[in-house]
């Protein structure tokens, strides 16, 4: 995988989260675009490159966000590595299967974030909130990943590149 487009994708997702995420607010929930971008990378990137990307993005967001430092750092890397481990060629290429994997990843990651915030900020918003956020994010992820697919083949991000 060429790291240039991957970095651009992550940078764009972070900027998009800061500028456009409020427009995607549905009630009290918002999607997490940087996590969707990382999930997409998890389908195609090497584990070490993915780990670096996850740690860097999580640390950068934790530094700027009002969430306590470590919220994403604790949630993103293990979940993404698990997704990376569980995904297979046929999963990464199937819109429905990877949507299911995205939902599972979002539920686990957001629950870890919620639990960390409950510890640090003293408030647990409830598993229902986390599941709703995960479902909404994954639903949008279906479309986001679909749009990313348009450029993916041109960049050579195919399932056969790194995974047998």
- For residue 83, how many other CB atoms are within 10 A of its CB? 24
Q: Which residues contact 100 (CB under 8 A, 6 or more apart)?
A: none
Only one of the segments 3-11, 29-37, 46-54, 73-81 lies at the binding site for another protein (rule: CB under 8 A); that segment is 29-37
Q: Name the residue among 27, 19, 12, 16 with its Cα closest to residue 136.
A: 27
The distance of closest approach from Cβ of residue 136 to another protein in the complex, given in angstroms and rounded to an integer, is 9
CB 42 within 8 A of CB 80: yes
The only residue of 43, 101, 113, 157 in contact with another protein, by rule CB under 8 A? 113
**Binding of residue 2 to another protein (CB under 8 A):** no
**Binding of residue 95 to another protein (CB under 8 A):** yes
Please give the Cα distance from 159 to 90 (Å, whole number).
Answer: 8
Please give the Cα distance from 34 to 131 (Å, whole number).
Answer: 18
**Binding of residue 117 to another protein (CB under 8 A):** yes
Give the containing element (helix H, strand E) for 116: helix 95-121
The distance of closest approach from Cβ of residue 24 to another protein in the complex, given in angstroms and rounded to an integer, is 5
**Binding of residue 34 to another protein (CB under 8 A):** yes
The only residue of 27, 48, 128, 164 in contact with another protein, by rule CB under 8 A? 27
Q: Enumerate binding residues for another protein (CB under 8 A).
A: 14, 17-32, 34, 61, 64-67, 71-72, 89-90, 92-96, 113-114, 117, 121, 123, 125, 133, 137, 140, 142-144, 146-147, 149-150, 153, 159-160
């Amino acid at each position: 995988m060429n790291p240039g487009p991957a970095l651009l994708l992550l940078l764009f997702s972070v900027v998009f989260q800061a500028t456009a995420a409020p427009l995607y607010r549905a009630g009290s929930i918002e999607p997490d675009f940087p996590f969707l971008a990382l999930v997409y990378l998890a389908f195609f990137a090497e584990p070490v490159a993915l780990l670096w990307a996850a740690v860097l993005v999580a640390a950068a967001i934790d530094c700027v966000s009002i969430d306590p430092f470590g919220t994403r750092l604790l949630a993103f890397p293990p979940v993404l590595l698990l997704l990376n481990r569980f995904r297979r060629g046929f999963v990464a290429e199937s819109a429905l299967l990877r949507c299911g994997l995205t939902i599972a990843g979002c539920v686990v990651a957001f629950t870890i974030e919620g639990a960390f915030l409950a510890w640090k900020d003293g408030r647990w918003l409830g598993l229902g909130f986390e599941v709703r956020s995960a479902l909404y994010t994954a639903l949008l992820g279906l479309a986001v990943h679909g749009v990313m697919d348009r450029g993916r083949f041109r960049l050579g991000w195919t399932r056969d590149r790194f995974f047998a």
